[in-house]
Structure 1
Amino acid sequence: MNDTPIRSMNTARAWTIDLAAWAVIGAILGAVGPFGSFFNDSLPIRLAYWMTLALVSGAVIGVGVRWAWPIARQRSTPTWVWVPILGVAITVPLGLFARVFASGFWPAVRDNVGLIEWFGQTLLVEMIFLAAYVAAHARAAELRSSEASMAEGPRILDRLPPRLGRDLLCLQMEDHYVRLHTSEGSVLVLTPLRAAVTQVGAIQGMQVHRSWWVARHAVEGVVRDGRNLRLRLISGLEAPVARSKVAELRAAGWPLGEA
């Protein structure tokens, strides 16, 4: 996890979006009336209760996540560890607030719902909301990072020496290295193939074999050897195609000829 989620969350716009989303969630809960609240009172009262509770919970969760996430990252604490710990920690104050707040609307709550049941329900709800909140912000940060990488251009080209130009034809795995082939030659770099493929950016291509990624523009023809298939590239190289990839390549419109 990088710093991107936290930086993007610490803005007025992010807080406004968060609280607006919590208000909508509160309105939905007010309409549905979970945990028996549907039978407690009219719709306006339920909306007032659940929207207030959702906004307070959202504010506490938002502050808690913004505080805990950077610390967890610094200590390399996985998400599945720190999120439940934070969930348990915020359940106590939120549970107390919710119980006092609910008692103001419906005094019978104190007698009809025990503390263990009350805090158990609170923990369940807060854990679901907290996990969804963290997952949503992590996904949003991932998409922003991906868009930024695309805008910056293919990072893999930065690994090429000037003498090889910028016309990337294919990537070929060799043990713990990847050979970058261009129309001018090749160079060996220390990186996993999976990592190299994520850095090709907007260059159209596909991993055609567990050891090969090929740029679509580099394909000049197809070589068949029985049931085996190889792509002939403009540089003269031939890249093997895994049988499991043939259908995927055809669906993407690659020129493989007749089956």
Structure 2
Amino acid sequence: MSYALELPEMPPLFGSARDWSRELLLSLAAGTFLGLTGPFGSYRNTSHLGVLAYWVGTTLYGALLLGLTVRPAIGLGRRRGFPPWGTFGPSLLLAAIPLSLGCHVIAARLWPQSVARIGLLGWYGQTLVISLPLALGYLAGTRPGTVSAPRPAPVPDATAGPKSRCAIAPAFWQRLPPDLGRDLVALQMEDHYVRVHTANGSALVLLPLRQAVAELPSSLGMQTHRSWWVCHHAVTGTVRDGRNLRLRLKTGVEAPISRNNVASVRAAGLLAPERP
């Protein structure tokens, strides 16, 4: 039996309709402001109406392009566990290439003599400066949010042993469906989620493994791997696969033991005598 329960949620990769409406309106306002002020010497070109049309059109084009590239790159990086700045910088640098080329082509048709004096590298730098505030808005908008979800009331489980329930905070159990019972077996990290294994099945909870472990008493179990924590009472044996060791749990699940944790697992008495 397996469940998926999400309390916090990540924003959509490509944003919601409300996000797009807000960003296009802001881009329209920014383009109007740039068209009236004429930065980078554009105020000297043709009529004021032409300058205004250029800046409004290019800012809307930039909002569309960045929204389809930078925003999903940041969101995908967050879901994969990468720091936001690690995906923000490269995605902006890459997206600015087609953005600067598109703006250069439009400007060259409007003001060929003026554009000829600016090299492609300079045009690329100007594009980065103009698009940076919008990209920073995507960086702030892709932060994980929270949603309210009904929490099931704790249900007593007659099959749960006292060792599996001792001193565990009620908030830990409230994240799980009642059908899973209260006989905790192990925690397994899966990206930003933790799969909680019990004697009745498992469930996914959007929660860092370190936070889940912090809610459990230290005497109940231990971390055997950077992505695994096991209950002492749930260990039934040891499995060796070459140089790799795993703990067999009472549900049949096998938890790996990292080499750095072999000594501590052995000291805890969890390594059973090996069999041929």
Change beyond 3 A, Cα 1:191–1:103: same
Distance 1:28 1:107, change over 3 A: same
Q: Which amino acid aligns with 1:35?
A: F
Match of 1:72 among 70, 77, 91: 77
How far apart in 2 are the matches of 1:128 and 1:73? 20
Aligned length: 155
Paired position in structure 2 for 1:119: 124
CA RMSD of aligned residues (A): 3.1
Partner of 1:18: 23
Of 41, 49, 58, 1:44 maps to 49
Q: Which amino acid aligns with 2:10?
A: T
Report the Cα distance in structure 1 between the residues aligned to 2:92 and 2:30, rounded to whole angstroms. 18
1:227 maps to which residue? none
Matched, 1:4 2:7: no
* AA matched with 2:120: L
| Letter aligned with residue 21 of structure 2 | T
2:58 is equivalent to residue 86 of structure 1: no
| More RCO (CA 8 Å, sep 6+) | 2
Q: Is the 8 A contact 2:75 2:142 kept in 1?
A: no
In structure 2, C-alpha distance between the alignment counterparts of 1:67 and 1:132, rounded to whole Å? 13
Identify the match of residue 111 of structure 2 among 106, 115, 130.
106
1:126 and 1:10, CA in 2 relative to 1: closer, same or farther beyond 3 A? closer
Question: Are the equivalent residues in 1 in contact too, given 2:172–2:215 (CA < 8 A)?
Answer: no
2:37 is matched with: 32
Q: Kindly indicate whether residue 137 of structure 2 is the aligned counterpart of residue 132 of structure 1.
A: yes
1:165-244 → structure 2 map (5 Å cutoff): 190-191=214-215
Give unpaired runs (5+ residues) of structure 2.
1-7, 152-168, 175-212, 217-276
Distance 1:29 1:190, change over 3 A: same
Q: Which secondary structure state, in structure 2, belongs to the residue aligned with residue 108 of structure 1?
A: helix
The residue number in structure 2 matching 1:168 is none
> Secondary structure of 1:41's match?
coil
Contact map agreement 1:31 1:43 (CA 8 A) in 2: yes
Cα deviation, residue 130, structure 1 = 0.9
Contact 2:71–2:142, Cα closer than 8 Å, also in 1 = no
Counterpart pick for 2:101 among 96, 103, 110:
96
Q: 1:55, 1:26 → 2: CA distance? A: 8
What's the offset of the Cα at 1:36?
0.9
Aligned equivalents of 1:113, 1:124: Cα separation in 2: 15
Structure 1 unaligned segments of length 5 or more: list them: 162-188, 193-259
Identity %: 31
Instruction: Give yes or no for contact 2:108–2:115 (8 Å, CA) kept in 1.
Output: yes
Equivalent residues of 2:65, 2:95 under 8 A apart: yes
CA offsets per residue over residues 80-104 of structure 1, 9 Å max, x none? 1110101110111011101110111
Task: Please tell me whether the aligned partners of residues 3 and 70 of structure 1 are also in contact (alpha carbons under 8 angstroms).
Answer: no
